[in-house]
Chains A and B, each alone.
Chain A
Amino acid sequence: MRPFTYERAASAADAAAKAASVPGARFIAGGTNLLDLMKLQIETPAHLIDVNGLGLDKIEETADGGLRIGALVRNTDLAADGRVRRDYGVLSRALVAGASGQLRNVATTAGNLLQRTRCPYFYDPNQPCNKRQPGSGCSAIGGVTRQLGVIGTSDACIATHPSDMAVAMRVLDATVETVRPDGTGRAIPIADLHRLPGDTPHVETVLERGELITAVALPRPVGGTQLYHKVRDRASYAFALVSVAAIVQPDGANNGIAWGRVALGGVAPKPWRVEAAEAHLKQGAKATTAVLLADARPTPDNAFKIKLAERTLAAVLREARA
């Protein structure tokens, strides 16, 4: 970890402006991923802007009946919020499926969205990695890939996005609210926040330099049975091999399903949702997964994720109907 200067930001706009103007500046909130990577010289900020004092730690109801979640709301508090538990169960479920109690007590809403991949080659500075060192090559391809991505990947990168929370937010159609260095704000649909790697896997989001996430807004509750099923080798405290976030409106007819939404975690560089696949939920998991993962390009080591996703979705649909 290189030396860095440190300041506590006075306001969100000020923080954004500083982040854009001070060379090597980064925001720090929970820091659970940033410090992890700084210790490995993977992140090397020269200046840290501590945004914890900005008061962005509230969960408020929005005018249209939804919820606005402050960027600094800790994962524990978001999961425990009564409104979230009642109306956005998939989000609460996804949050508590992630990390550990200690990490959830610190990790923030925005930080969770912006956490970086857990690809072991990204984490080892001795190994070439296009995400860490653009143009150096991807050493994961042809290497140990069991945990890595099967869809949305590229010849430059097969890393996955490790968040559980983001997968739930994707089925909830959340919107990410930011402030830019010039003081203006914008709202980014969560579907658009993360970029696919293509030839530039080091560019992970559409955020501009210095742009600060201030909140995540959830639209008004959509009801339905909300489930999050995370599959992993260890029973807890492990990243997903595959996870399924689903909102299903049960129905007496239609094979038990009136409508539904589904997104996958653990398979792609971003929460993976294909809206067109959701029309097939009534036909079942196989038909849905066939569309959802139609363009999958797995490795021999992680091809099982296709079948696992299908079977996990089947279990989720069965539970939703029950």
Chain B
Amino acid sequence: MKFDTPAGTNPIDRLTVVGKPTDRIDGPLKTTGTAPYAYERHDVVAGQAYGHVLGAAIAKGRITRMDVAAARAAPGVITIVTAETAGPLGKGKWNTAKLLGGPDIQHYHQAVALVVAETFEQARHAASLIQVDYQAEPGAYDLAAARAGATEAKGEPDTGAGDFHGAFAAAPVQLDATYTTPGQSHAMMEPHASIAAWDGDKLTLWTSNQMIRWGVKDVAQTLNMPEENIRLISPYIGGGFGGKLFVRSDALLAALGAKAAGRPVKVALHRPLIANNTTHRPATIQRIRIGTGKDGKIIAIGHESWSGDLPDGKPETAVQQTRLLYAGANRLTAMRLAVLDLPEGNAMRAPGEAPGLMALEIAMDEMAEKLGMDPIQFRILNDTQVDPEKPERPFSQRQLIACLQQGAERFGWSRRPAKPASVRDGRWLVGMGVAAGFRNNLVTKSAARVRLDGQGVVTVETDMTDIGTGTYTIIAQTAAEIMGVPLDRVVVRLGDSSFPVSCGSGGQWGANNATAGVYAACMKLRQAVAQKLGFNAAEPHFADGHVSSGGHAVPLAQAAKGGEMVAEDGIEYADLHKRYQQSTFAGHFVEVGVDAATGEVRLRRMLAVCAAGRILNPKSARSQVIGAMTMGAGAALMEELAVDKRRGFFVNHDLAGYEVPAHADIPHQEVIFLDEVDPISSPMKAKGVGELGICGVGAAIANAIYNATGVRVRDYPITLDKLLDRLPEIA
């Protein structure tokens, strides 16, 4: 199905199932521990051996000698895979560093060996017996030091409009400030894990991966084998957040290990390996310049960002939102990329916008203060309904002002004193902060297959994944709505490369595109069903398990009495996304308390008001938003991959050292979705919400801390040591 004109009225608009707050259909499995994750598939293949990964002990250099004799001789050891034994390997399109290092080492904890043994305990111990000699080489590990040598990244030219430099210089009110965000780790609760089994030259991988199609292609490319001989199965994923967009060393080494062992092998990355072995959100340095008139209207806005990555890596696109969020005739955005020999930087939840808004939305707060304006008023004043770089391109929907205004009312924003450090509640300094949230809506093709059986059960198959996003449920809702059956008559099968290719899960594009693909397939099935049942009317009615037209109703199941009916189709997008800017918006509101003595920051209230198209399942969508707000709170207050700049690695590489928010950090969270349908986005009229919740919330926290204390911190995370010197004296 080609989507080339804005959606008109369609079966989804009935909203008998779609749009209702619906318990997840996978809930009973997940809450009873019976949803099977990758490492747990005892059921799929017999004789699984255990693999344990050894990571490199240096950040950069070469292996000069590797002695595996002791490990090979250890009890239970079946085989050992190294770069030497693996033979020539390709590199996946989505990987920057090789998944199996040696002799060259590109980053700390890059995998250098897999030990396969009869038991987990044996494999882990034998891996410790491998001796590796390294020749270490000097590397670059400090972004600030490498900043001067950073260059324009391939395919990421500077953008702008008007004359930024001239206009900024002439602006009556100016802000020129630099902000930093540290590297962050996805820290999903399920470690990367895979089981590999070979049947002749065919490979099956039960794995934990967000993007099945990308995975198949990259496994094929890495192992130099045809795609059709590879099957990926990933029905349950214990969190990804971008960290499982790509094939990682667990999958490759399980495949290589299984080949070498001649039997299935399972591999999970041990937790202390994950931060350095896999990808992370790169650190940024961001310079923001805003020039306004005395009236507060933005005349010039510039956002430059520096980040680092391994050679041939990509920049963190932290300036993205600044191209679109606020008006202003004179604009500049620029990204510079330095070569760093730290582990591979890559996508993490809302890449670009998440760290970009952490900086931009502090800058907006600072600018509002300079102007003596309320920060909400300042944002409203500079709203734009068109792409500021290309004013002929309108936003398909843009309710940022409504998000901010409704949020202000709901949150009691009027009680916020403009003067910082003026509210005290016992030991706590109390403050409120606001920030705009912004994340683009990305459209990409997505397909599905729908089956109807003689009992009237509708089964949807697509290689789409559910990484906690609620995909199972919204796909079931979509199919139920279109086919006119109750939710419990729909079966959803996901995460299998033998199913039609979907958009996969990432970039908050999953919900809209995957359900649009299911929409396309269901509409095709409806057509076939109508034909089969002899309805000549163009549009018979599908409801209550029946197909009807003009008083004539037939049970839907009737169509499949003589055999299952199957339809396959997908959604493809023409150019609406080029003609219209499609984005999602939020107003984030936070109240914090800062301990007047210690500087500890504790969140007291959080509210997000979101405008993100049709909300397919308000229950799971709300969960996505509060979850992203929680991750944003971590980014604001505690998360930092601490770099040892001499040795080139993330030092705090476990869940004790890399602190993510715990229950006690998170207060009650409120989410409001504005009524919105966006017929430009897809037949579902939906957009994504999974990343919107993290976009802006960090800055709202930072701004609340400023309001509470009068201390402006521009370097995340905002830990107490950055406040302590400037808090009031205590007796």
Residues of A within 8 A of B (CB): 1-3, 39-41, 118, 120-121, 123-124, 126-127, 139, 142-144, 146, 231-239, 241, 284, 304, 307-308, 311-312, 314-315, 318
Contacts and interface: CB of A to CB of B under 8 A. Distances in A.
Contact of A304 (B659, B724, B730, B731): B724
A146 B662 contact: no
B368 interface: no
A39 B602 CA distance: 34
B597 A236 contact: no
A39 B124 contact: yes
B21 to A, nearest CB: 30
Nearest to B600: A231
Given A40-B272, A120-B651, A124-B653, A308 B724 contact: yes
Closest 5 CB pairs of A and B: A315-B597, A236-B664, A126-B57, A235-B664, A304-B721
5 contacts: A3-B121, A233-B717, A304-B724, A311-B598, A311-B730
B598 A235 contact: no
Contact of A236 (B272, B663, B721): B663
Contacts of B121: 1, 3
A55 B642 CA distance: 44
Contacts of A314: 597, 730-731
A314 B727 CA distance: 14
Contact of B651 (A143, A238, A308): A143
Contacts of B22: none
Interface in B651-686: 651-654, 656-657, 659, 661-665
B646 interface: yes
A4 to B, nearest CB: 11
Nearest to A231: B598
B125 A235 contact: no
Given A41-B128, A233-B600, A307-B724, 11 more contacts: A120-B642, A121-B651, A123-B654, A143-B646, A143-B647, A144-B643, A231-B720, A237-B662, A238-B659, A308-B599, A312-B597
A44 to B, nearest CB: 9
Contact of B724 (A235, A236, A237, A311): A311
Given A126-B57, A311-B724, A235 B730 contact: no
Contacts of B659: 233-234, 238
B329 interface: no
B321 to A, nearest CB: 27
A41 B127 CA distance: 11
Contacts of B599: 308
Interface string B630-656: 000000011000111011000111101
Contact of B646 (A142, A233, A284): A142
B656 A239 contact: yes
Interface string B619-638: 00000000000000000011
B406 interface: no
B725 interface: yes
A124 B652 CA distance: 10
Interface in B695-731: 717, 719-721, 724-725, 727, 730-731
Interface of B: 57-58, 75, 121, 124-125, 128, 272, 427, 595, 597-600, 602, 637-638, 642-644, 646-647, 651-654, 656-657, 659, 661-665, 717, 719-721, 724-725, 727, 730-731
A146 B725 CA distance: 16
Contacts of A118: 656-657
Given A314-B730, A314-B731, A127 B647 contact: yes
A185 B725 CA distance: 49
A238 to B, nearest CB: 6
B643 to A, nearest CB: 7
Contacts of B730: 311, 314-315, 318
Contacts of B652: 120, 144
Contacts of A3: 75, 121, 125
Given A233-B637, A233-B719, A307-B724, A315 B598 contact: yes
Contacts of A232: 600
Contacts of A239: 656
A235 B124 CA distance: 34
Nearest to B655: A237
A128 to B, nearest CB: 10
Contacts of B663: 236
Contacts of B125: 1-3
A235 B720 contact: no
Contacts of A142: 646
A308 B721 contact: yes
B597 A311 contact: yes
A234 B646 contact: no
A308 B719 CA distance: 12
Contact of A146 (B128, B642, B654): B642
A266 B281 CA distance: 30
Contacts of A120: 642, 651-653, 657
Nearest to A128: B647
A235 B597 contact: no
Nearest to A232: B600
A3 B128 CA distance: 12
Contacts of B272: 40, 123-124
Nearest to B58: A126
Given A120-B657, A121-B651, A318-B731, A234 B638 contact: yes
A126 B717 CA distance: 27
Contacts of A237: 662, 664
A236 B602 CA distance: 11
Contacts of A40: 272
B725 A307 contact: yes
Contacts of B662: 234-238
A235 B634 CA distance: 11
Nearest to B120: A1
Contacts of B600: 231-233, 235
Nearest to A241: B720
B124 A1 contact: yes
Nearest to B727: A311
A311 B600 CA distance: 12
A127 B59 CA distance: 12
A321 to B, nearest CB: 10
A123 B651 CA distance: 10
A120 B108 CA distance: 15
